[in-house]
Structure 1
Amino acid sequence: MTEPKPPGKLFLVGLGPGGGEHMTGRAREAITAADTLIGHATYLRLVADLVGDQQVVKSGMTEEVERARLAVELAQAGRTVALISSGDSGVYGMAGLTFEVLFQSGWTPETGFAVEVVPGATALTSCAALVGAPLSHDFCAISLSDLLTPWPVIARRLNAAAAADFVCALYNPKSGRRTRQLQEAQRLFLCHRRPETPVALVHAAFRARQRVELTTLAALAGCEIGMLTTVLIGNSQTQVRHGLLITPRGYTNKYDLAGGTTVAGERAGTSLSSGLDAWLAAIRASTEGVEQLAARYQLPARYIAELLDAPDADVRH
């Protein structure tokens, strides 16, 4: 016979950018269902209209561990707790830390109280919505905060993202004490990107102090930027059109957008003529060696060697 679950429950709630109109219905339900609300004072102010007679526990920056521990302790005691983050709780929010605390306490999904992660729109997508469609192709997010992550790790990630031509969202770009990290990020990106690469700076998206600025990679470090700013750095294809930041998805590689037909040599619903199968055929027909091919395509020599040695079935499946 299955043991009944303990009575407590923990909601890990993402508010989205902060306004009620951008909060999910489930986030509202979780907040109103909880008998205890825990969060940074700023985030709790954003949901003040939803607070009834619940216990409200406010705390400041750098007190995340205390918030997570308290939320777990209260849920273990049978309370229904909503631990609140802005954006999405699982994206630079409280969810990851809280699960670490849960696992350390011996909690498991099978035997412990219920835990529900309630998703919300993260700063990445909220800020993108205000400037057009900069994330329409591959992108990544990197936090510049070195409070918990060593700088060499951050620098390697920045360099890899810049070299790989990702659109990149920089979280936590600057604070009162951390002012040089953004300059170093700019320096790394300029090793791989044009100085005129479009950049969007979005401060306090969808909140009262919202500010949006379009600039360039070359001018980035001289702009007004703070902890509430998210920096969106375009890739080699990103364009500014009529004040909007747009990253093409690649449809013009296959389609004539004006006529709606495919371009010569391409077919709808199939890989590009320069896709994986065509590329495999080209490198297998090449007279270049593994090291030369690796250098040409900026890929590991081991990967190229394995492709050349692998049967088609292994490569395709």
Structure 2
Amino acid sequence: MPSAKSNATQASPEPGKIFLVGLGPGDIDQMTARARAAIAAADVAIGYRTYLRLIAHLLEGKEVIERGMAEEIDRCNEAVALARRGRVVALVSSGDVGVFGMAGPLYEALLAQGWTPDSGIVVEVVPGITAASACASLVGAPLTHDFCAISLSDMLTPWTVIAARLEAAARADFVTVFYNPKSSRRPDQIREARTIFLRHRRPNTPVAIVHAAYRPHQSVDLTTLADMLDRDIGMNSAVILGNRSSRVQAGIMLTPRGYGHKYDIADGQPRPGESPRVSLSTGLDGWRSALTALATEKGVQQAVAALGANPTQVLETLREGGGTSPMVVREPSAEALLDEALGWPGATLHLSSSAASGATLAALDLAGAAKGDQAGHLTLAGAGWTLGLPWTSVAAAYRVLDRQRVCAWLQGPDGDTLLRIEGVL
């Protein structure tokens, strides 16, 4: 006769399923067929109350669990608990559930409990139209070249991290979409973001502000980087900042894909020196050729400055090219190279102000300089100056034979030049 324990085991429900559903911008016509099917298959729906009310007509006869803002972890844990009891759950997000949505925290919660995809609860991610795509469709074609999305919310991300990403995106000329740009509790982040972008973009750079895309109170505002703060921006807005090529024409915000570099747009014919189905003459192969020619003629440092290139990328390109003028060798030991460099005739130490330009900030005579190592920090001391550098910040070391000079380059993890020592061959 089966024991009570055996009966209890047999009565345990099979694990259920969690649909992670992206609702799109909010209008039913913008939802995917799979999203509607997933909601129909679920017997319980969980989400932020505003999102659930957008699809109330799809939830008739289902258990509906509404939660407020800042209760994302509670939503995830509740979804997991219900699925463990055999329920089929639709955990919904606006836009795409995997873009600043609930897919991430749900997987975090499951993995923290030892879940794996081949055991227990079944999880299906149902993508939706994200705000970047929805808002872009209402203003033209602003995302047809490289772009990125950055959330300005510092509720979960330190501002130093956000600011670093803003700086990188602005410097690299990405079209950038701001999610969560502003709220009553966070009025200043959008101002700081604009300040960062104004260091790298023209004041008349096109900006699109789209509020409540595809919802009843939708609004679209085309403005500029200089004037954007005078416009209405809130939590239901997305802000699209153009790049250097973006423009507004006939009420359309457009970022060219780059066809004009290769073809005459008027007649479709290739421009001189360009051919269909191959890289631009200024593509990677062309860049390598230009770099090698410039480095051979004027030296590696001048090539870095003239091309505005990442110094480590330049050094690696020259090293892989295998040339002898200049000749670049990656050394296994930064410390051994530095010890040797201090003994080079006429050795001078050069510190760079930035990796991008390679501009020399200081050139110091190393004659009589003393090297030390204190608790993992390199120290160099000369007449009237001292330099300290943690060894952990050195990612690579290169020896460069360049125009009758020998150079030691110590490079950081981001490709920046930490220091460069030059001597006479």
- Alignment RMSD: 1.3
- Conserved? CA contact 2:24–2:31, under 8 Å: yes
Alpha-carbon distance, 1:202 to partner: 0.2
Q: With structure 1 as the length reference, what TM-score do the two structures score?
A: 0.95
Cα 1:53–1:284, aligned 2, differ >3 Å: closer, same or farther?
same
1:302 alignment counterpart: 312
Whole-angstrom distance in 2 between the partners of 1:28 and 1:178: 34
Q: Secondary structure at the match of 2:74?
A: helix
1:1-317 map, 5 Å = 6-286=14-294, 287-311=297-321
- Conserved? CA contact 1:290–1:301, under 8 Å: no
Counterpart AA for 1:50: L
Whole-angstrom distance in 2 between the partners of 1:151 and 1:306: 33
Alpha-carbon distance, 1:52 to partner: 2.3
Q: Secondary structure at the match of 1:169?
A: strand
Higher relative contact order (CA 8 A, sep 6+): 1
Counterpart AA for 1:174: K
Higher mean displacement: 297-306 or 68-77: 297-306
Counterpart AA for 1:154: I
Whole-angstrom distance in 1 between the partners of 2:301 and 2:158: 32
Alpha-carbon distance, 1:309 to partner: 0.6
Alpha-carbon distance, 1:311 to partner: 4.3
Higher mean displacement: 183-192 or 278-287: 278-287
- Conserved? CA contact 1:239–1:247, under 8 Å: yes
> Which runs of 5 or more residues in structure 2 are unaligned?
1-12, 323-425
- Conserved? CA contact 1:40–1:61, under 8 Å: yes
Whole-angstrom distance in 2 between the partners of 1:297 and 1:219: 33
- Conserved? CA contact 2:181–2:190, under 8 Å: yes
Alpha-carbon distance, 1:77 to partner: 1.4
Report % sequence identity: 56
Count, aligned residues: 308
Q: With structure 2 as the length reference, what TM-score do the two structures score?
A: 0.71
Q: Secondary structure at the match of 1:256?
A: coil
- Conserved? CA contact 2:139–2:208, under 8 Å: yes
Q: Which structure would you say has the larger Rg?
A: 2
Whole-angstrom distance in 2 between the partners of 1:291 and 1:109: 51
Cα 1:6–1:311, aligned 2, differ >3 Å: closer, same or farther?
farther
Counterpart AA for 1:52: E
Q: Structure 1, residues 116-146: CA drift from partner, whole Å, max 9, x if none?
A: 0000000000000000000000000000000
Whole-angstrom distance in 1 between the partners of 2:57 and 2:290: 62
Counterpart AA for 1:75: A
Whole-angstrom distance in 2 between the partners of 1:239 and 1:214: 11
Alpha-carbon distance, 1:49 to partner: 1.4
Q: Structure 1, residues 242-298: CA drift from partner, whole Å, max 9, x if none?
A: 111000001011112221211111101110011111111111122233333333333
Alpha-carbon distance, 1:302 to partner: 1.6
Whole-angstrom distance in 2 between the partners of 1:43 and 1:290: 56
Alpha-carbon distance, 1:54 to partner: 1.1
Q: Structure 1, residues 71-120: CA drift from partner, whole Å, max 9, x if none?
A: 11111111100000000000000000110001011110011221000000
1:315 alignment counterpart: none
- Conserved? CA contact 1:133–1:245, under 8 Å: yes
Alpha-carbon distance, 1:46 to partner: 1.1
Q: Secondary structure at the match of 2:143?
A: coil
Whole-angstrom distance in 1 between the partners of 2:298 and 2:20: 54
Higher strand proportion, which one? 2
